[in-house]
Structure 1
Amino acid sequence: MRKKDQVRDQILNRLLSAHYRFGDPIPVKELCEETGISRQPIMTALAELSTEGFVTVVAQVGCEVASPSREEIDDFYLMFERLEGLMAELAARRRTPEQVRRLKAINLQISLIEPSDVDAAEDYRSLNRAFHALMHEMAQSPLLLERQSNIFTMSDFFIAQTIGFIPHLKGAAEEHEEIIEAIASQDSECARYATERHIHEVGNFVREGFSQSA
């Protein structure tokens, strides 16, 4: 892995774990010392993360974690629920029985996570990502796949920075069941609506956390 990609992944993981919070400065000098990587690859990684909306780079000043407005978060989740709903609609039309079996298995693992476990948040984030990634695979739409994967990462960033992953844990497993049932029965309209409701609920949690921290 190239040094730029290595440090980009490290910074992104810290954003997704809320090690760096909205508006925090990104300590480039400390990253250089910690990783043993020179300033140039780190700045290249930060420039990429800036393009993706995770950080803000100000020339001659430095870099800090992005600080979205409430309106930007509202707009983001409106876009996210519509696009994820479309992915579910396509998945219902194109899924295989084996993919449905795998989707059920992932959601079973999610339902068994104990919120009090020390690794519960990371386990849920990883399994939830796997659930939606499999749904994206079912949709068989390469043009949408990469775009939606990036959007999903941004949603994880907003969740980590506001309410955290645990509050929606149990509700997510139940909402996933509705999505699975619709996909399994190839009811594309119900799959879309169930997924849009699911993402809308995630957005509500984020908005609540954002309001509490404002």
Structure 2
Amino acid sequence: MLYLSNRYSVPLGTYHALGKVVQLKIDQTRLIIYDSENGETLGKHNLSKEKGKLIQDKNHLRDRTKGISAMMESTIGKFEAQVLAQIFMLEIKKKYPRYIRDQLQLVNQQWNHFPSIFVNSGLKLCVEKRLFSASELKDMIRFLTESAQHEPIELFEESPAKIKPLDEQLNDILEIKPSIRSLETYLPFLEGGTNN
């Protein structure tokens, strides 16, 4: 949007429709751009006193042409447990409706930084613990990755317990016999002397 020799940004894709008309509201310090058809605010900027500048809102750079639904489906399809992935994504969408695109992008980035076993395990644990955000998923994946470097962990299935039943432990204890020494070994201690 051009105003007094400066260009002010609007969201990417705003002008895809031919004949798109916007309106400006200007006060002493702010320029607000509205959609003429529905009155939606497209951009808010501080007025620049300079000339030939591009005043840009970084949020306007996001590609909004790809639908959220398609992005969610694509993200869900990457996981082994797609039902859990769907639950996770729907909860994120409910919790962060205005930031769902950012949340999905952060989830998708995890596939580039961590092995898939940790991403899948992180999702499972997040759903179990009701942690529904991309940053919590990222933290869980990082935790699993770091834990695996120190000791092996079971990621998907619980390993059977390797603890002896109590009755077997008691038998082992009952079979222990103390060592037997003669009384002469203890007499010097009882009489107050020492045996070197």
Fold shared, TM-score > 0.5 on shorter chain: no
TM-score (norm 1): 0.25
More strand by share: 2
More helix by share: 1
Greater C-alpha Rg: 2
TM-score (norm 2): 0.27
